[in-house]
Amino acid sequence: MATLARLQARSSTVGNQYYFRNSVVDPFRKKENDAAVKIQSWFRGCQVRSYIRHLNRIVTIIQKWWRSFLGRKQYQLTVQVAYYTMMMNLYNAMAVRIQRRWRGYRVRKYLFNYYYLKEYLKVVSETNDAIRKALEEFAEMKEREEKKANLEREEKKRDYQARKMHYLLSTKQIPGIYNSPFRKEPDPWELQLQKAKPLTHRRPKVKQKDSTSLTDWLACTSTRSFPRSEILPPINRKQCQGWAQWLTPVIPALWEAKADRSQGQEIKTILDNMGPFRDITEVLEQRYRPLEPTLRVAEPIDELKLAREELRREEWLQNVNDNMFLPFSSYHKNEKYIPSMHLSSKYGPVSYKEQFRSENPKKWICDKDFQTVLPSFELFSKYGKLYSKAGQIV
Amino acid sequence: MSQRQVLQVFEQYQKARTQFVQMVAELATRPQNIETLQNAGVMSLLRTLLLDVVPTIQQTAALALGRLANYNDDLAEAVVKCDILPQLVYSLAEQNRFYKKAAAFVLRAVGKHSPQLAQAIVDCGALDTLVICLEDFDPGVKEAAAWALRYIARHNAELSQAVVDAGAVPLLVLCIQEPEIALKRIAASALSDIAKHSPELAQTVVDAGAVAHLAQMILNPDAKLKHQILSALSQVSKHSVDLAEMVVEAEIFPVVLTCLKDKDEYVKKNASTLIREIAKHTPELSQLVVNAGGVAAVIDCIGSCKGNTRLPGIMMLGYVAAHSENLAMAVIISKGVPQLSVCLSEEPEDHIKAAAAWALGQIGRHTPEHARAVAVTNTLPVLLSLYMSTESSEDLQVKSKKAIKNILQKCTYLPALEPFLYDAPPNILKHVVGQFSKVLYPLCQNVDFEIRCEASIIPLDIQIHFCRGWTAINHLITEQSYILILKFTAE
C-alpha cells in the first residue's frame, strides 16, 4: 500500500510528468528520429553506392572485354589491308622494272636505233667530205684545162701572125726588122718567123653579091649551117642529082659559073673540089632513124584500162556474193531473207567435244575422273581479278 | 636589040628591088631607124615583096619583117593585122631552107611579145608547118622552128598544149640528140618552156623520153646548154613526186653536183633549183639527196655565190630540214648553219634574208639539240633584230618571228637565251622565260627549292625563295639575269 499511496501521490504529477515528459521527449524523439533517419539514410546511401560501384566495376569489365574484342577484330582487318597494299605495291614495282627494261629494249631495237643514227650521220659527213674533195678536184681540173686551152689559143694566134708576117724574115743580105744589128740577140718574133711556114696564096676572091646579106642574116643562128665561100658541102653526084640545081641559086661559085655560061664541066670540077662531108646514107639514116620509144610509151595506150579490167575480173572470182554490201536501210526491206547454206541444211553444227575429242569408254580404267591432289596456285586462281585493281580491297 | 632592052628594064627593076630590100633589112638592125621605117609604111611594101618571084628578095623581105617584128609588139601586131602570117605559113611548106629560116624567124619575133599574138600565130595554122620544119634536114631550119615553138609555148598552158598537140615534143627530143650545140640549146629550152606549165605537159615531155637524153647532156662543157638542160629538168621535176622520181632515176646524182662548181652563175643557180625541186617533195627524195652528198655541195655553192643565185640553195636546205629531224641533223653536221647565218647577216635583199630565216627556223625547230646548234652560232640576236627593225618587209618580219618562236620553244641553251631577256618584246619574252623555267625547275627541285612556274599567257610567275641551295644554280645565269627575272615577275 505504500507504493500505492506513493503512486497516488505521484499520480497527479504523473500526468503532468507524463505530459511533460511526452512533450519534452517529443522534440527529442523527433530529433532522435531525424537522427536515426539520417543515419539510416546515410548508411543506405553508402550501401547503394557501393552496390552501384560494384555494378560499375563489373560493367566496366564487361565493356572492356567486349571492346577489346571488337578492336582486335578491326585491327586484323587493318593489317590485312596494309599487307595487301604492300604486296600490290611490290608487284607494281617489279612490273615497272620489267616494263622499263622491255620498253627500252623495244625502242632501241625496233623504233629508234640511236647508234644507227649516229653511224648514218657519220657516213653522211664522210660522203660530204668526199664530195667536197671531188668537186674541188673537178674545179681545179677545169681551171687547168681552161688555162691550157687559153695558152694553146695564144700559141696558135702567134703562129698565124708569124705566118702572115713571114716576109719580114731577115735574109742573108738584109736583116729583118726584128733582127736589128744593134741588138744583142734577135727579137723572139724573129725566131717565130723562122719557124713559121709561109701562108699560101688564097684563091682569087670571088665577087660575092649576096654573101654578106645571107651570112649575117639571122642574129640567132650560127653561120655554120650556111655554105661558106671556100669550103662547100660536097655532093655525091650519083645519088643527089637534084642537089646541084637546088644549090645553084645560092652558091656564089655556081652562080658565077652559071652567069659565065660555062657548062657542066665547070660545075663538075667545082663540085669535085668541095670539102669533106658526111656520107649521104649515114645522113639519111640519122634523119629517118625510127623513134625508140621508152617502155612506158611503147605500151598500148589503154594499158591501164586493160590492167584494171584484169584485176577486176580476178577479184570477181573471189567474191562469194555478187551484190555489194548494202546499207542497213529499207532498201532491201522487201527482199526475202535467204539463209546461208549452213543454216538451211538439216545438219546442224557439231558440238566441239564430239568433233575433236573421241572418247572410248571401254578403255577407261575406272569410272571416276582424275582427282586433283595438289591445290591450285592461289595466285593464278585470282588471275585477272586482282591485278587490274591495285590497292583496292577485293 | 629591043628584046635586050626590055630584059634590061626587068633586070633594073629586079636590081632595084633587091637593093631596096637589102637596105631595109640592114636599117632594121638599128632601133633608131625602125620608127621612121614604120611611118614610111614599110609593112605593106615588104608584104608585096614577100610574094616576089626572085627567091632572094623573098628571103630578105622575110628577114627584114622579122627584124621589125622583133623590135616591139606594135610592129608585131601590125604584121599580124596585115595578114602576112598566112602567106608566110603557106610558103613555109614549100620554099628552100633559107626562106624557112627567115619565115620561122618572123614567127618567133611575132610570137614572143604576148599570148594574144602567139594565139594569132597558132590560129593561122603555123604550128603544123613549124613541126614539119622540125623534121627538116638543115639544123638551122630546125633551130629556127624550135625557137619559134619555144616562144609560142612560153606564154601559158593552152599554147603549150597546142604545141604538144601538133606533135612537136618527139621531134624536139630528136633535135636534142643532134650534134649542133645551138640546136641542142634551143630544143632543151623549148622542152623546158613546155614542161613548166602543168604536170600533164611535163608528163608528155617525160613520155617522149626526154629525161634520159637531157641527163646525158649534163656533162657537156657548154655553159648555156647546161643552163637550159638544168632548167628543163627542174621544170619537169617540180610538179609531182613521180616526175621527180623519174628525173632522179635518170641518174643525175652525183653528176649534177659538178654543175654546182661551174663558173657560170646561171648554171649554179639552175643546178641548185633542180636539187631543190627534187628534195622538196618527200622525205625519201631528200634522203636520197643527202646520201649523195648534195647538201655539202649546195652549202659550198651558197658560199661561193652572191645575191639571187643563192636563193634556191637556201630554200633547198630549208626543205630538206623541214622533212624530219634526222635530215635536219644531217644539214647541221654538213656545216649548213654557219653558212645560213652568214647569208642572213650579209645579204642586202629582204626576200633572201626571209628565206634564210625560214630555213634556220626549219632546222632548229625539231629538238633541243637542233635548237642548240642554231643558237650557238649567234643567229638568234640577228633574227630578233630583223624582226624588230622597221625597215624589214612584212614577209621578213613574219618569217623571222616564226623562226624565233620555233627555235625558242625547243632551246635549252641558256647562254644564248640570256641576251633575249634584255631586249626582246613581251610576246617573245614570255617564251624565253618559259624556257628558263623549264630548265631551272628540275634543277631547283634537286636542291630542295620551291619554284612555282606557271607558263601561261599573262606574265610568268616565278617565285624563288632564298635557300642555301641557290648558289648551286648561280653559275647558270648571271646575277643580272636573276635580277631581271625578279624584276619581271614583280611587275
3-state secondary structure chain A: CHHHHHHHHHHHHHHHHHHHHHHHHHHHHHHHHHHHHHHHHHHHHHHHHHHHHHHHHHHHHHHHHHHHHHHHHHHHHHHHHHHHHHHHHHHHHHHHHHHHHHHHHHHHHHHCCHHHHHHHHHHHHHHHHHHHHHHHHHHHHHHHHHHHHHHHHHHHHHHHHHHHCHHHCCCCCCCCCCCCCCCCCCCHHHHHHHHCCCCCCCCCCCCCCCHHHHHCCCCCCCHHHCCCCCCCCCCCCCCCHHHHHHHCCCCHHHHHHHHCCCCHHHHHHHHHCCCCCCCHHHHHHHHCCCCCCCHHHHCCCCHHHHHHHHHHHHHHHHCCCCCCCCCCCHHHCCCCCCCCHHHHCCCCCCCHHHHHCCCCHHHCCCCCCCCCCCCCCHHHHCCCCCCCCCCCCC
Please state, in angstroms and rounded to a whole number, the distance separating the CA atoms of residues B374 and B380.
8
Q: A49: pLDDT confidence band, cut at 50, 70 and 90?
A: very high
Residue A5 or A261, more confident: A5
Residue type for A383, please?
Y
pLDDT level of residue A240 (50, 70, 90 thresholds): very low
* Residue numbers in B near A220 (CB within 8 A): 105, 108, 143-144, 147
Flag the least confident range among A23-32, A354-363, B231-240, B363-372: A354-363
Taking residue B246's Cβ as centre, other Cβ atoms within 10 Å add up to 20
Q: Identify the pLDDT of residue A217.
A: 47
Handedness of CA A32, A37, A40, A42 (dihedral sign): negative
Q: How does residue A25 score in pLDDT terms, banded at 50, 70 and 90?
A: confident
Question: Could you read off the pLDDT tens digit of each residue along chain B, which spans 491 residues?
Answer: 688 889 999 999 999 999 999 999 999 998 888 888 888 888 889 988 988 888 889 999 999 999 999 888 888 888 888 888 888 888 887 778 888 999 999 999 999 999 999 999 999 999 999 998 898 889 999 999 999 999 999 999 999 999 999 999 999 999 999 999 999 999 999 999 999 999 999 999 999 999 999 998 998 889 999 999 999 999 999 999 999 999 999 989 888 998 898 889 999 999 999 999 999 999 999 999 999 999 999 999 999 999 899 999 999 999 999 999 999 999 999 999 999 999 999 999 999 999 999 999 999 999 999 999 999 998 998 998 899 888 889 999 999 999 998 998 888 888 888 888 777 887 888 788 878 877 776 666 554 333 333 333 233 333 333 333 344 345 445 444 555 555 555 54
Residue indicated by cell numbers 631577256: B421
Optimal mutation site among A137, A141, A218, interface B, most CBs of chain B within 10 A:
A218
More confident residue, A207 or B221: B221
* ipTM attached to this prediction: 0.75
Binning pLDDT at 50, 70 and 90, where does residue A387 land? low
Q: Give the minimum alpha-carbon distance from B247 to chain A in angstroms, rounded to a whole number.
A: 14
Mean pLDDT of chain A: 77
- How many residue contacts between A and B have a Cβ separation below 8 Å? 107
Residue among A127, A213, A220 minimizing CB distance to B293: A127
A246 interaction partners in chain B (CB closer than 8 Å):
96
Q: Give the span between the Cα atoms of B351 and B121, in whole angstroms.
A: 38
Question: For chain A, which residues lie within 8 Å of any Cβ of chain B, measuring from their own Cβ?
Answer: 117, 120-121, 124-125, 127-132, 135-136, 138-139, 142, 210, 213-214, 217-218, 220-222, 224-226, 246, 249-250, 283, 287, 289, 291-294, 296-297
Decide if pLDDT at A277 tops 90: no
pLDDT at A264 over 50: no
* Inter-chain residue contact B102 with A220, CB threshold 8 Å: no
Nearest CB to B261 within list A135, A226, A283: A135
Query: For residue A380, what pLDDT is reported?
Result: 58
Q: What is the mean pLDDT of residues A156-169?
A: 86
Hey, which residues does B451 pair with through a beta bridge?
Answer: B464
For residue A87, the distance in angstroms to the closest alpha carbon of chain B comes to 30
Report which of residues A342 and B416 the model is more confident about.
B416
pLDDT of A76 over the 60 cut: yes
Report CB contact under 8 Å: A221, B182: yes
Distance between the two ends of chain B, CA-based, in angstroms? 118
- Cell numbers for B434, please give them: 618559259
Residues of chain B by 3-state class (helix, strand, coil), percent to 5: 75, 0, 20
DSSP B405-439: HHHHHH---HHHHHHHHHH--HHHHHHHHHHHHHH
Which DSSP helix (H) or strand (E) runs through B18?
A: helix B2-27
Q: Which residue of B has its CA nearest to A210?
A: B56
Work out the percent of chain A whose per-residue pLDDT is above 90.
Answer: 28
The answer to whether the CB atoms of A297 and B261 lie below 8 A apart is no
Residue in the block written with cell 631550119: B141
Task: Specify the pLDDT at position A80.
Answer: 97
DSSP states of B223-265: HHHHHHHHHHHHHHHTS-HHHHHHHHHT--TTHHHHHTT-S-H
Tell me the β-bridge partners of B462. B453
Mark yes or no for CB contact B102/A217 under 8 Å: yes
Binary contact (A225, B138; C-beta < 8 A)? yes
Q: Which residues contact B305 (CB under 8 A, 6 or more apart)?
A: B265, B268, B269, B313
Chain A residue numbers touching B182 (CB-CB < 8 A): 221-222
Interface test with A, best of B11, B30, B56, B71 (most A CBs within 10 A): B56
CB contact under 8 A, B261 and A218: no
Q: Residues near A177 by Cβ (< 8 Å), separated by ≥ 6?
A: A168
Q: What is the pLDDT of residue A292?
A: 78
Query: Do B127 and B151 form a contact (C-beta atoms < 8 A)?
Result: no
